[in-house]
Structure 1
Amino acid sequence: MQTRTIGIIMTIIGIIMLLYNSFNYVTTEKVVDIGPIQINKEVNHPLEWSPIVGIVLAVVGIVLIIRRNK
């Protein structure tokens, strides 16, 4: 049962990685802090990966599901 569960999870993650190749997260950095005056800057941090990684995860997940059924 554990191998099949891992295979299902890997397949789902692989499909999601194929659909979404990247995402951004935003952090806030303090630029100026002079007494009551504060100036903040929002910085985007993109995270990207190759679609090949998603394909490999999906295929390995499917292989684990099929192999478990045999």
Structure 2
Amino acid sequence: MNKLIGIVLIVVGAIMIIWTGFTYTKREKVVDAGPIQISADRQKTVNWPPYLGGILLVGGIVIVATSKKSI
């Protein structure tokens, strides 16, 4: 089980180093005055620091290296 968690952390860490964030579009109401409603599409960005991916990558490597071999 520890080896699987370590591998998942390695993969997630590598992805977080390569892609440092993503952007998505959200529809928001701009005006809501009774029967009149105006909406606009707004882009939202989610970013994370690349060193967080490095920490996950190193943690995953340590977990895989220290896990016991299964029979």
TM-score range with shorter-chain normalisation?
Answer: 0.7 to 0.9
Q: Percent identity, aligned pairs only?
A: 37
**How much does 1:66 deviate?**
0.8
Please show how residues 1-70 of structure 1 align to structure 2 within 5 Å.
2-32=1-31, 35=35, 38-69=37-68
Q: Which has the higher helix share?
A: 1
What is the CA distance between 1:39 and its match in structure 2? Answer: 2.8
Aligned residue pair count: 68
Tell me, which stretches of 5 or more residues in structure 2 are unaligned? Answer: none
**When the two structures are superposed, what TM-score results if normalisation uses the length of structure 2?**
0.82
Q: CA RMSD in A?
A: 1.6
Q: Secondary structure at the match of 2:67?
A: helix
SS in 2 for 1:31: strand
TM-score (norm: length of structure 1): 0.83
